[in-house]
Amino acid sequence: MGQLTGKCALVTGGARGLGFATAKAFKAEGAKVAVTDRLEAEGARAVASLGDEVVFLAQDVTKPQLFGQTEAPMMISTMAPRDHFNADGSVARGRLSSAGRPTPLVQLAIMGDDGQLLPRGDRGEIVIRGSLAMAGYYKNSDATAEISQFGWRHTGDIGYLDDDNYLFIVDRAKDMIITGGFNVYSIEVENALRQHPDIMDAAVFGLPDDKWGERVCAAVQLYVGRQADPVEIVAFVKAKIGSVKAPKQVDVWPDLPRSKIGKVLKREIRARLLRK
């Protein structure tokens, strides 16, 4: 614990983005940030981006992470506590945003739009098959057929497998933005926005655009008492992840609409902007 001398803050668990916002706020106050337990995958990736000042307490990571969905309950992949660390005991930072390795209950692959299975490292839709996957939707043969194309159950999640067979979930397929022929994953842009010192949280989505097909748009919520120029925000994101992925439109909201569990309601934001 010697590495935690002085002002220190502990961050544990957290819904999407909230763990990162908490860690960033404490770091801004000059505190070292220690992450205990298992942050939700997107929060873990964002917190890790704060740099080496963030300390992960090895002895406190005691719970496994499970990835699943209603159509394949809970056990598509799992990440055991030991998977958070390298063989020498150091934190496997590049693995913190992983959903773990596929379980023996399913066969898992990454599929392209044409139904071809993709090699390791390539991004595509996560598909599964096996006894864990549901037989189909009750009295809805059309929906069942839609998620059963090419003989696999389609999860609706975009991801990839690394060389060690760890699964990384990149985004929901429905949240991917196709702009000028390029695929832009909303979570990557959101994580870049959350690194801005004035931004507490962000939602990224696509809106129709005559030139690009879709344009990348962002709604951001600032910390109380802060101000930020949308033009400067766009420049900040460009410097982080490039101009193609940077939002072409940034709207500052006093409060982003959220569900009862704190998740930003991206569809509601998009619908409001389309009505303008």
Burial of 44 (0-12, 13-18, 19+ CB in 10 A): buried
Q: Which helix (H) or strand (E) holds 231?
A: helix 230-241
pLDDT tens sequence for the chain (276 residues): 334 344 444 444 443 444 555 555 555 555 544 444 444 444 454 555 555 444 444 445 566 788 999 999 878 999 888 888 888 988 788 887 889 999 999 999 999 999 999 999 999 999 999 999 999 999 999 999 999 999 999 999 999 999 999 999 988 888 899 999 999 999 899 989 999 999 999 999 999 999 999 999 999 999 999 999 999 999 999 999 999 999 999 999 999 999 988 889 999 999 999 987
- For residue 209, the cross-strand partners are 213
Q: Is the CB of residue 270 less than 8 Å from the CB of residue 249?
A: no
Distance CA 204, CA 241 (A): 14
Helical pair 186-194 and 18-28, crossing angle rounded to 10 deg: 20
Spatial CB neighbours of 5, under 8 Å, sequence gap ≥ 6: none
User: What pLDDT is recorded for position 2?
Assistant: 39
Please give the single-letter amino acid code of residue 102: P
User: Is this structure's pTM higher than 0.85?
Assistant: no
